[in-house]
Structure 1
């Protein structure tokens, strides 16, 4: 979604993901310890290892923080921004998982109160709605994508390791093409 438009091709998406190299979740670089590029690759890599058959989940991990690149500083809305940018290309499930990665953080903060978050995730939790209340927890648990969203969130939290090499964006082009082709297959 450059200039308000959805990403229309895998080539455009790979270019956008490549632009995450040297881009950070906070404009002043006080946030997480890896740039958005390394974070995307690490998150997707963890999901590939834990859920090798779920290509949509892996791709959601790769693109889940694109909203930080598209609208820097919009911690509360980055999930929606990223989801809107990729929905036309990657389909409804990938976009939904991207949207749900923030509610999944709020959910995990409610059901696992001692769970460690990065300093930046702890800060942004407040602007993203805070810890879920009991009614929100019940609604989230009833969502058919809740388990996958929690898995994405757990990989998101773990994919922040400085210096961990897990390939490059070109490695993901075939998976992105596969998911894009499947998104609108008859």
Structure 2
């Protein structure tokens, strides 16, 4: 299936699912993508930010799976799926957005205190704070800075009622980034 149609189908199927933060999956994705665009990100980083949680839309697990103590590893699932259609400049920041949360909670004073209850729960399921060895390994990842920036937009895109452009607005970025 054409990746643009597959992305639309994924949002049609599960975009209205709860995100656990007062917005649904689609609203969260659109808000995050808008933040990246607003801040002048590259088209690839806008697409990565828009689609960073696509792994949640691809699995068939319930919305409240984290409440059951299960980490879906959505970042790995999403990155693997995206790598079939996009280059690493899209798939790698997606893979790294969860480790970026762990990294920021470890190294940035006050970051952990800003996390919502849902984000703290998922942080625990995703491995918690990083060890010094994990911090150093993360900093060696080629796209770690993009993963951190994506994470910051991820944290910002959770505002109920925030009106941002719809999915069609981002199609030009997606088309520009699809691996040819």
Q: TM-score, normalised by structure 2?
A: 0.88
- Please list every run of 5 or more consecutive structure 2 residues that lacks an aligned counterpart in the other structure: none
Match in the other structure for 1:21? 15
1:59 paired with 2:47, answer yes
- 1:144-155 to structure 2, matched below 5 A, reads 144-155=142-153
Within the candidate set 94, 99, 103, 1:103 is matched to: 99
Match in the other structure for 1:93? 89
Paired residues of 1:17 and 1:169 also in contact (CA < 8 A)? no
Match in the other structure for 2:80? 84
Question: 2:84 aligns to what SS in structure 1?
Answer: helix
Whole-angstrom CA distance in 2 between matches of 1:123 and 1:48: 29
Whole-angstrom CA distance in 2 between matches of 1:40 and 1:172: 11
Q: Quote the offset at 1:8 in angstroms.
A: 4.3
Paired residues of 2:15 and 2:57 also in contact (CA < 8 A)? no
Question: 1:37 aligns to what SS in structure 2?
Answer: helix
Question: 1:19 aligns to what SS in structure 2?
Answer: helix
Match in the other structure for 1:44? 33
Q: Quote the offset at 1:113 in angstroms.
A: 4.2
Within the candidate set 3, 9, 13, 2:3 is matched to: 9
Q: Which structure ranks higher in relative contact order (CA pairs < 8 Å, sequence separation ≥ 6)?
A: 2
Whole-angstrom CA distance in 2 between matches of 1:8 and 1:91: 16
- Please list every run of 5 or more consecutive structure 1 residues that lacks an aligned counterpart in the other structure: 1-6, 26-30
Paired residues of 1:14 and 1:170 also in contact (CA < 8 A)? no
Match in the other structure for 1:33? 22
Paired residues of 2:28 and 2:157 also in contact (CA < 8 A)? yes
Question: 1:163 aligns to what SS in structure 2?
Answer: coil
Q: TM-score, normalised by structure 1?
A: 0.85
Q: Quote the offset at 1:58 in angstroms.
A: 0.6
Whole-angstrom CA distance in 2 between matches of 1:22 and 1:144: 33
The two structures, once aligned, show a CA RMSD in angstroms of: 1.6
Whole-angstrom CA distance in 2 between matches of 1:49 and 1:19: 27
Match in the other structure for 2:126? 128
Paired residues of 2:52 and 2:78 also in contact (CA < 8 A)? yes
Question: 1:167 aligns to what SS in structure 2?
Answer: coil
Change (3 A) 1:18 1:173: farther
